[in-house]
Each structure stands twice: as C-alpha cells, then as structure tokens.
C-alpha cells in the first residue's frame, strides 16, 4: 500500500452506481465521503475545480489553521505530526490530497452541479456536460467560501485605485510601499493587515465596523479551541459574562489605538456568525501602529474613500475582507430548505422534513473549530444514511 503521507490523490469515478453523491471536495465533503465509505457505502464526490481542496488552494499564503493539528484531523486519518502544531495552508492542501487517496475515494473533478432536483427514486443532479447523476442520498458540502462578497458601496465603480476581494489576495509582495485600506476585521482581514504591514506596504489601515473579540490562539500552551470546546454547550449568557475576564487577562486594551473592547457578548456574536479573531500578530501590529484601525467605509468617490465618521483617504489599494455568501440558492433554493439568510434549515445528520436524503455539512462556523465539527458531522451523517438502507 502507498504511503498515505506522500501519495497523490486520484480523480476518477467508479463504474458502479453510487449510494450517495457528495457535492464538494473540501474537508467537509471528503470527510463525509470517507465516513460513508467506512459504513460500506459507495459515495461519489463531485468537485467543480480541477483538484480537491480548491478553497484552501486559493487562500492567502500566510494562512494557518487556527486550531491545533491534534484537534483538526478528519475521520480515519490524523494530520501528520511533521506538519507542526499550527498547520500551514499548503500542508492543509497536502493533507486533503492524502486523505482522498488514503480512503480510496471516488472524486470526479471538473464537474459542476447546477441544481439538485427531485427524481423518481431520490435525487437527480444535472451537471457539466449534460450529464444527470442520480442517487437516493445527496450531501451538499460546497462550503462557506463559494461566492466572494463585496458590499455595493456607493460610488464603488468610480474608484480609481485597485479594489480587491480578500479571496484574490496572496501576499504583500506587489503592494510594497503602497497605501492600503483593508475593510473587515474578521480573521481574514486581521491577518491580511498584518501580512501587508510586515511585507512592506507603505501604510496599512483597517476599517472596523464592529470591534471584534480578540483571543490568543493559545495561552501558556493551552489552545483557545480547547476552551471553546469546553464552553460550547454552556448557556450563551453565562459564556458572555465569563469571556471578558479571559479577554482582559490575555489581550491588552487597544482603545487608545482605535480598537476598543467590544460591548456585545462573545458567544452572542458567535451565535450570529462572528467568530473571535485569533491573534496571530494583530495586537502587536496595532500597538506598534503598523496597522491603524479606522471607521468603516461609507462610500467611494473617484480616488477618495469616505468613512462613516466623515474622514477621507486616498488609498492605492482597498482589500475587501468582507466575507462570502454560501451561494446555495441556485443549487437548492427551490426546495424550501434554506432560511431567510440562505443557510440550510438543518445540517449534519438531519435532513429537512420535506427533503429526505438531503444533507448539509460545513455551513456553520462553530467556535469549537470547523475541521473538528466537520469530522463529527461526517460520522453522524454516515450513521444516519446507513440506518435508512
């Protein structure tokens, strides 16, 4: 048997009819397929990109998992120890390639599914090339990062500088000496700001709409994820009351630098989809004034960007770290399985009542770590599918 830590993935399809179709060959889709295969089922993974892990391949160069290696492995194959405690982007991609090979998964790349339709005996998926694939079970695992989103700011089309979504940012090399405004202070915006400051940008400002909760990635060797796992099932109000004490001990007050402590509860924000920022250099960059927090963007006017506090600037580059849309409406919006925000009404091992055999995974952003929760969901989905056969 090939060494699972060095083998390359294969992209093929089995001649047998699949027991399940999995849409998306990222960590959520691959882990679901591996768990289904462990249950004796034959899943087929459909991926629109040429390779597995497309989303991770497209992230900025300095990205690492914010969760430690030992708590981030997918079902059936730990992340290799040689990848270090905080796994780098390229090693995450290598791990996903290894994972597909190790579990001997059928992955059909270059196939985009246009729509999930009800069939005579399950589900039918019209796909690239006029093909229609059918299966009693469909697992949708297209992920959070399917559709980059830039707000429709007034005057955006008149901006004479460069406007770039964070999904297109790789590193600071070509922006040396430039005046840069990064919009959005989630983990992506925070890291890109630090990367630009360390990479030689002339000036870096970070537009903040709502001050974030900032947590150390680990304290005295104890990872923030371990604490998050412990408190995840506690009442939201209790965690909100406890979190400020932890924040005050671990992160200095940055109010004097334009980044005040948040007034909203940490876990309340998580419930709304806002994960705390893991500090991988932001605090030091703000305190040294290499990254300058400013107010949020109101509008563009030619070379000028106006902020909500009335101030103006003329940056050479604006990086919109403004997130993504799940983009599930064209795929499943007609099935009445999404809520008003475009999120699946249920996920993990539960199918919507009106859509038996349809599962969703990878669309939540849990405080306890996405890879960990994807792994848990994968096993639960496989168990639920196996019970119906």
- Is residue 121 over pLDDT 90? no
Global pTM reads 0.90
> For 16-55, what is each residue's pLDDT tens digit?
679 999 999 999 999 999 999 999 999 999 999 999 999 9
Tokens of 150: 């830039």
Cα separation of 150 and 161, whole Å?
16
Q: At residue 161, does pLDDT exceed 50?
A: yes
- Quick one: CA torsion of 328, 345, 336, 107, rounded to 10 degrees? 40
Separation of alpha carbons 109 and 362, rounded Å: 19
Residue given tokens 């090939």 in the structure block = 2
pLDDT at 10 over 60: no
Mean pLDDT, residues 128-134 taken together: 87
Please classify residue 179 by burial: count the beta carbons closer than 10 Å to its beta carbon, then call 0-12 exposed, 13-18 middle and 19+ buried: middle
pLDDT at residue 8 is higher than 60: no
Average model confidence (pLDDT) for the chain? 92
**How does residue 272 score in pLDDT terms, banded at 50, 70 and 90?**
confident
Give 389 or 170, the one with higher predicted confidence: 170
Domains in the chain with CATH codes: 20-146+326-387 (3.50.50.60), 148-323 (3.50.50.60)
The predicted-structure confidence for 312-329, as pLDDT tens digits, reads as follows: 999 999 999 999 988 899
Average pLDDT in the 364-384 region?
Answer: 93
Tell me which residue has tokens 């004796």: 40
Contact present, 149 and 305 (Cβ < 8 Å): no
Q: How confident is the model at residue 67 (pLDDT cuts 50, 70, 90)?
A: very high
Query: Cα(260)–Cα(213) distance, rounded to whole angstroms?
Result: 10
pLDDT > 90 fraction of the chain, expressed in percent and rounded: 78
Question: What confidence tens digit (pLDDT) does each residue in 207-240 have?
Answer: 999 999 999 998 888 888 898 888 888 899 999 9
pLDDT of residue 60: 96
Q: What are phi and psi of 122, to 5 degrees?
A: 145, -125
**What are the pLDDT digits (tens) for 286-314?**
999 999 999 999 999 999 999 999 999 99
Task: Give the residue from 40, 111, 103 showing the smallest Cα distance to 74.
Answer: 103
């Amino acid at each position: 048997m090939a060494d699972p830590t060095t083998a390359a993935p294969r992209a093929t399809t089995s001649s047998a009819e699949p027991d399940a179709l999995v849409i998306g060959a990222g960590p959520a889709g691959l882990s679901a397929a591996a768990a289904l295969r462990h249950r004796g089922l034959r899943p087929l993974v459909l991926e629109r990109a040429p390779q597995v892990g497309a989303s991770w391949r497209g992230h900025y160069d300095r990205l690492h998992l914010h969760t430690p290696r030992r708590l981030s492995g997918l079902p059936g194959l730990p992340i290799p120890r040689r990848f270090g405690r905080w796994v780098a982007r390229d090693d995450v991609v290598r791990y996903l390639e290894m994972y597909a090979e190790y579990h001997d998964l059928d992955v059909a790349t270059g196939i985009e599914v246009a729509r999930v339709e009800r069939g005579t005996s399950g589900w039918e998926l019209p796909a690239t090339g006029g093909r229609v694939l059918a299966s009693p079970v469909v697992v949708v695992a297209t992920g959070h990062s399917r559709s980059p989103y830039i707000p429709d700011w007034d005057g955006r089309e008149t901006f004479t500088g460069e406007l770039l979504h964070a999904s297109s940012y790789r590193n600071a090399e070509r922006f040396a000496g430039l005046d840069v405004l990064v919009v959005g202070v989630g983990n992506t915006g925070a890291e890109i700001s630090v990367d630009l400051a360390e990479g030689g940008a002339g000036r870096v400002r970070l537009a903040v709409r709502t001050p974030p909760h900032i947590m150390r990635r680990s304290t005295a060797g104890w990872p923030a994820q371990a604490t998050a796992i412990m408190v995840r099932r506690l009442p939201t109000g209790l965690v909100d009351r406890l979190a400020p004490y932890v924040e005050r001990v671990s992160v200095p007050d940055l109010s004097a630098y334009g980044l005040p402590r948040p007034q909203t509860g940490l876990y309340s924000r998580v419930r709304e989809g806002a994960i705390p920022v893991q500090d991988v250099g932001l605090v030091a960059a703000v305190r040294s004034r290499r990254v300058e927090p400013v107010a949020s963007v109101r509008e563009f006017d030619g070379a000028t960007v106006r902020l909500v506090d009335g101030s103006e600037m003329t940056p050479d580059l604006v990086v919109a770290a403004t997130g993504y849309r799940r983009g599930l409406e064209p795929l499943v919006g007609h099935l009445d399985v999404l809520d008003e925000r475009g999120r699946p009404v249920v996920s993990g091992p539960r199918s919507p009542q009106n859509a038996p055999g349809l599962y969703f995974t990878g669309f939540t952003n849990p405080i306890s770590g996405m890879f960990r929760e994807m792994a848990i969901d994968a096993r639960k989905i496989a168990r639920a599918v196996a019970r119906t056969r």
